[in-house]
Amino acid sequence: MRILGIDYGQKRIGLAVSDLLGITAQWLETLPNRGAKLMIADLVKICKDNQVKEIVIGLPVNMNGSHGPKAEEILRLIPVIEKETGVVVKGWDERLTSRQADRLMIEQGLSRQRQKLNSDRLAATLILQSYLESKRK
């Protein structure tokens, strides 16, 4: 069973998919955020092409555990994505994944331009990998 990880951003949507055993996450191409309808159409195709049976979308929870406007937007999107894709969608606490992604890219010596190109898909990979690891525990 493959699981799709999503880092939903204002400008770009990072994607990652698990291997068949659900052990590792590999990033996919980033989608431009062109609105919910187009994103969902893309997700339907990605789920079909990759035989995805579950989706994990990063939920930007505040450090105090509360939900801000972005988290509320994602919570409203979850049932819509589930309905259109026919796949179970779970919100996953993504606190600090973007910072972790930035730190990893800086350590790798990537230029700012390369960091910008890779940050969303790396964040999606980190979200998915943390979810996969939680399932193994």
Higher pLDDT, 94 or 44: 44
Work out the average pLDDT over 57-74.
Answer: 88
Report whether 5 contacts 127 (CB < 8 A).
yes
pTM of this structure: 0.87
Name residue, tokens 């940050």.
119
**CATH fold of 2-136:** Nucleotidyltransferase; domain 5 (3.30.420)
Residue 120 has pLDDT above 90, yes or no: no
Taking the C-alpha atoms of residue 88 and residue 44, their distance in angstroms, rounded to an integer, is 12
pLDDT at 49 over 80: yes
Task: Please state the rounded mean pLDDT for residues 22-48.
Answer: 94
pLDDT digits (tens, 9 = 90+) for 68-114: 898 999 999 999 999 999 999 999 988 766 666 667 656 777 666 66
Q: Where are the domains of the chain?
A: 2-136
Please tell me the distance from the alpha carbon of residue 22 to that of residue 133, in angstroms, as a whole number: 9
Please state, in angstroms and as integers, the Cα–Cα distance from residue 21 to each residue in 77, 78, 112, 121, 132, following that order.
27, 24, 34, 21, 10
26 in Cβ contact with 19 (< 8 Å):
yes
Q: Does position 30 have pLDDT exceeding 80, yes or no?
A: yes
Q: Select the more confidently predicted residue: 37 or 98.
A: 37
Residue 65: which residues within 8 A CB-CB, separation 6 or more?
none
Q: What is the pLDDT of residue 122?
A: 84
Secondary structure of residue 89 in the 3-state scheme: strand
Give percent of the chain above pLDDT 90. 59
Regarding predicted confidence, which is higher, 97 or 10? 10
